[in-house]
Structure 1
Amino acid sequence: MTRRRLSPSPLSAWLLCGTLDIVYAALWSLSAGGTVGGMLRGVAKGPFGDAAGDWGLGGALLGLVTHYAIMGAMVAAFVLLARHWAGLRRWPWGWVGLVYGLILYGVMNGIVLPLRFGTPFPPADLFKGAVALFPHIFFVGLPLAWLFARPEAR
């Protein structure tokens, strides 16, 4: 019995979701008075420590690589679930995307960021919490669910 390959490729899903999310973060950073480089160096601080904030262009590039590595894990987890749980691809993609986005938000903001940076969860500022929740749902969860729930992906 041959195994049918999911369409589209996980690579294209990774690039799509990663790009949508980082463009959102860049635009949000600019609208809040920050810089894209500063935002990316902030991402690099996660695995490389606070000193990454002073690494200039190198720190920003490491932040971009870190962002896509994290997104790779998020997409890979969804693809593995979709491949091994056929029911996931039959549920309404909107619900699947919403739930997956909420799970991603919970993991990132409820576990990863508090462990690394000591950020409170739930956030004291609900607006900032919504700003962080939005891309997990609309730029990661929903696109993944839509891409892999399409009839040709089953």
Structure 2
Amino acid sequence: MSTALSMKAGPTPRPVAILVGTGLLVATVDAIFASTYWHVAAGVPATRILQGIAAGLLGKAAFQGGEATAWLGAALHYGMAMVMVLVYYLASRWMPVLARRPWVYGPLYGLVVYAVMNGVVLPLSAAGKQPHAVAWVVCSVVVHVLVVGVPSALAARAARGVSVGG
């Protein structure tokens, strides 16, 4: 006899699908945020935002590379988002509380990711010094908390099969 609790709506997604899907979602929402912000604030086209990401590897030459460097920037952006989600998942295997309490540790992870990206990755990249308008910093911190941290934590919980209560 089946009960409502034992019936499933469909097959349970595999952990890899959950993590990849979340990485794609995180990267897409973050790219939309950055492109929209800079288009509204300064009229910067989305292609230039992606070239700015490629500048981390190529320096100022990225802005002369047209669509090719924009595509490189997109690939780098999506790759970094995948790594961010994967890192949280791997950390949750070492510290299971990260998966059990995603609404606590996810936002903290978003803050850590913001700090690492802006305090370590960008300064070590070939992109050069970046201007930091206060509004951009505030919005970026919020986006890292809500768009990177929380989804990474929820994906880790789902990929590990941790129940909401446990």
Q: Which residue of 1 aligns with 2:81?
A: 71
Distance 1:39 1:134, change over 3 A: same
Query: 1:152 Cα deviation (Å)?
Result: 7.4
Unmatched 5+ stretches in structure 2 = 1-13
Identity in percent: 32
Q: Report the TM-score, using the length of structure 2 for normalisation.
A: 0.78
Distance 2:69 2:59 in 1: 11
Q: Which residue of 2 aligns with 1:118?
A: 129
Number of aligned residues: 146
Distance 2:25 2:159 in 1: 20
Distance 2:19 2:158 in 1: 14
Question: Counterparts in 2 of 1:59-98, with a 5 A limit?
Answer: 59-91=69-101, 93-98=102-107
1:26 aligns to 2:28 (yes or no): no
Distance 1:152 1:86 in 2: 9
Q: Which residue of 2 aligns with 1:53?
A: 63
Contact kept, 8 Å, 2:15 with 2:158, in 1: the verdict is no
Q: Report the TM-score, using the length of structure 1 for normalisation.
A: 0.83
Cα deviation 1:73-118 (Å, max 9, x = unaligned): 2111111112232121222x22211100000000001111123323
Q: Which residue of 1 aligns with 2:139?
A: 131
Amino acid at match of 2:60: D
Q: Runs in 1 of length 4+ with deviation above 4 angstroms?
A: 5-8
Distance 1:148 1:19 in 2: 19
Query: SS in structure 2 opposite 1:118?
Result: coil
The structure number with the bigger radius of gyration is 2
Distance 1:90 1:28, change over 3 A: same
Cα deviation 1:19-42 (Å, max 9, x = unaligned): 111111121122121100111111
Amino acid at match of 2:147: F
Query: SS in structure 1 opposite 2:44?
Result: coil
Distance 1:151 1:62, change over 3 A: closer
Distance 2:108 2:129 in 1: 25
Q: Which residue of 1 aligns with 2:118?
A: 109
